[in-house]
Structure 1
Amino acid sequence: MNSSPAPLPAAPSTPGAPADSARRSRRKDARPGELLDAALDLFVEKGFAATRVEEVAARAGVSKGTLFLYFPSKLELFKAVVRHNIAGRFDEWREEMRDFDGSSCELLRHCFTVWWQRIGATKASGITKLILSEAGNFPELAQFYRQEVIAVGQELIRNILQRGMASGEFRAIDLDYAIYLVIAPMIFLMTWRHSIGMCVPDALGLTPEEFIAVQVDNLLLGLCTRPVPAPTSYCTP
């Protein structure tokens, strides 16, 4: 799965203004990324409701007015953070899954491991905990996340399971429910990391990589129509 984030919003233009210096142009082009990084930090640290756009602008080193040139509201800023860090990557991930040469068992292991490396172990995983905590108070935010992250992610998982069924590796199972067998360990790790794990880092007493490996083994033993080959290493994709 390619780890490139989604494209940044275009820098606002100033009609009729003289040409800026190369340094100023580079600074202007960098601002959307700086704002998104600052917003991700604050949304994960404080939540959606408690984060103020003034704080985001200050952390990015710009004025609130500059922030609003790129993002007209806090909700639109949050949407841009989600698209840049998660939703905007789905097309590339879908293409990589489509080109995967190994078995469906190997693909499932690979996707779990890569998901942890590129999302779960990063600050972006805190977005999931934020949604779980605040969705009830912000239905538009919840609907956006369901449409652009949850629904698309579920479809990718469905495709992996369908691939395994079509090849005869996986037994027939109700996909509407089976996708949650894959999602549940991911949600557990993300919510733990951004709740108890923040205060007591070693409280779980397990490494995320080993946890994922055991979960995948358990999942495959339930899905597969024949014994599952042991991986060479739990921590190697």
Structure 2
Amino acid sequence: MSRPPVSPSPTRQRRKEERPQELLQAALELFVDRGFSATRSEEVAQRAGVAKGTLYRYFPSKEELFKAVVREHLVARLADFAAAAAQYQGRVQDLLRHMMQTWWASVGQGTAGGITKVMLVEARNFPELAQFYVDEVIQPTHELIGRLVQQGIARGEFRPVPIAATVHVLISPLLQMMLQEHSFGACGQRPSGVGAPEMLDAQMSLLLCGLLAEPASKI
């Protein structure tokens, strides 16, 4: 008499469902710690506690694994920000302040913030990954911030300014802080001696004085 098929235990089934996330977390940590080129796929599998073949079952190459990490930790967060901005009804200046502080708290100061440094360091050697990062992270970020600046101008909240250049001015300090956090900060060194939230608040106050159509005394 044949035996009925054995169903996987709930624990084993749950472990299998969690495996992609465990692989992505292991990959994120190794990519940020060692860089893309120096990270080997077998090291990711080992850190996640699986065989190398299991890793390739979910992610057929190291490049695809890196893209999945970026989509999980950056692209998904950008989509959340864009959705929230589309529903927002208040002042654009308040939303910009909130977005900058929230991005730092949820991404920039964490391990995922180190992806920016990895791309800046290794983009030249991996042009296909660089193009992917431009298409899925940089361009959508610029488009989102640009829409908010344009919205502020249309409402009369901001004075007319060149949108693309203003977006760069808004984003650049945040990028600088992420690079510092994941270079000097990784060694316990923060040369400025000023916390990122304070720096972001000062940045937004200074920039808004130049953006707002109303007198600076009303900020």
Same fold judged by TM-score > 0.5? yes
Partner of 1:87: 75
**Is 2:159 aligned against 1:171?**
yes
Identical pairs, percent: 47
Partners of 1:154 and 1:209 in 2: CA distance: 21
Partner AA of 1:74 in structure 2: K
CA deviation vs aligned residue, 1:106-128 (integer Å, no higher than 9, x gap): 11111111111111121100000
Give the one of 67, 72, 89 matched to 2:55: 67
**SS at 1:86's partner residue?**
helix
**SS at 1:51's partner residue?**
coil
CA contact (8 A) 1:197 1:204 kept: no
Give the paired residue count. Answer: 214
Partners of 1:46 and 1:169 in 2: CA distance: 45
Aligned-pair CA distance for 1:160: 0.9
CA contact (8 A) 2:184 2:190 kept: no
Partner of 2:210: 222
List structure 1 runs of 4+ shifted beyond 6 angstroms: none
**SS at 2:124's partner residue?**
helix
Partners of 1:116 and 1:126 in 2: CA distance: 12
CA deviation vs aligned residue, 1:58-106 (integer Å, no higher than 9, x gap): 0000010000000000000000000000112333221101112221111
Give the one of 50, 58, 64 matched to 2:38: 50
Partner of 2:139: 151
CA contact (8 A) 1:129 1:194 kept: yes
Please give the residue correspondences for 1:1-237 in structure 2 after superposition, counting only pairs within 5 Å: 18-228=6-216, 229-230=218-219
Partners of 2:65 and 2:133 in 1: CA distance: 13
Partners of 1:197 and 1:218 in 2: CA distance: 25
CA contact (8 A) 2:97 2:201 kept: yes
Partners of 2:6 and 2:152 in 1: CA distance: 59
Aligned-pair CA distance for 1:36: 0.3
TM-score scaled by length of structure 2: 0.94
Partners of 2:43 and 2:21 in 1: CA distance: 16
Q: Which one has the bigger helix percentage?
A: 2
Aligned-pair CA distance for 1:173: 1.1
CA deviation vs aligned residue, 1:4-32 (integer Å, no higher than 9, x gap): xxxxxxxxxxxxx8531111100100100
Unaligned runs of 5+ in 1: 1-16, 231-237
Partners of 2:6 and 2:156 in 1: CA distance: 65
Aligned-pair CA distance for 1:199: 1.6
Partners of 2:80 and 2:119 in 1: CA distance: 24
* Structural RMSD (CA): 1.3
The farther-off stretch of 87-96 and 52-61 is: 87-96
Partners of 1:186 and 1:223 in 2: CA distance: 18
Partner of 1:233: none
Instruction: Report which of the two structures shows the higher radius of gyration computed on alpha carbons.
Output: 2
Unaligned runs of 5+ in 2: none
Partners of 2:79 and 2:188 in 1: CA distance: 36
